[in-house]
Amino acid sequence: MTSANPSTLAKRLRLYVITDRRMAGQRSDEEIVRAALEGGATCIQLRAKELSTRQQVALGRLLRDLCHRWGRLFIVNDRLDVALAVQADGVHLGADDMPVAIARQMLGPDAVIGASAEDVAQARRAEQEGASYLGVGPVFPTATKPDAGPPIGLDRLAEIARAVNIPVVAIGGINRDNAPQVLKAGASGVAVISAVVAAPDPRAATQQLARAVGL
């Protein structure tokens, strides 16, 4: 696993693509990730709640190798055990997952640990517990995660970004048209699912997003 100082990490989180095979049609996660990397994604997150642990480990090793060949970050969603098993760069933890402080104790000082936040209190707590970056949102309405809360909007995103000293990655309803607004509000990067995974041409969609965020 590898970490970085906040400014370097922010660059590596600029365009963060999350897998979701429910949106991928007939394409495999490997195909989607390969296309995203070719298109300019700087970070890939494996999100595969529907797979068994054994399946997640097998897929995680494959995607980790792909990402590392491109010199990109590879993060595992939720599953600390899978992140450890595949030697991912880190893990992203939601509000109902293992506390960041415990994950930091288990993974050590060099791992990249992301935490979800919807307000300043959550963001500051995650930073204090040792989070490397924050996933903040949903910024805009999104149908990707039915259990997501109401959109927080650009003003709260900006408030959260000002309140912490670690990178903020915005998520939720982000596309090539609104990505510049998100960065202007203070986010270090954008995280997308449907904008790439569900796109007819994931590589071209990632290229368009990369241009939108200045890559």
pLDDT at 145 over 90: no
pLDDT computed for residue 159 by the predictor:
98
What are 161-181's pLDDT values in tens digits? Answer: 999 999 999 999 999 999 999
What burial letters (b/e) apply to 127-153, b meaning 16+ CB within 10 Å? bebbbbbbbbbbbbebebeeebeebbe
- Please answer whether residues 75 and 114 qualify as being in contact, where contact means their C-beta atoms are separated by less than 8 angstroms: yes
pLDDT computed for residue 147 by the predictor:
66
> Measured between alpha carbons, how far is 38 from 157 in angstroms, rounded to an integer?
29
Secondary structure letter of residue 144 according to DSSP: S
Tell me the pLDDT band of 7, cut-offs 50, 70 and 90. confident
Tell me the pLDDT band of 5, cut-offs 50, 70 and 90. confident
Beta bridge partners of 171: 191
pLDDT computed for residue 6 by the predictor:
83
pLDDT at 2 over 60: no
User: What's the token pair of residue 205?
Assistant: 């969609």
Q: Which CATH class is domain 6-212?
A: alpha beta
Tell me the pLDDT band of 85, cut-offs 50, 70 and 90. very high
Which residues are catalytic, by number?
Answer: 47, 116, 145
% of the chain at pLDDT higher than 70 = 96
pLDDT at 1 over 60: no
Query: Mean pLDDT, the chain, as a whole number?
Result: 95
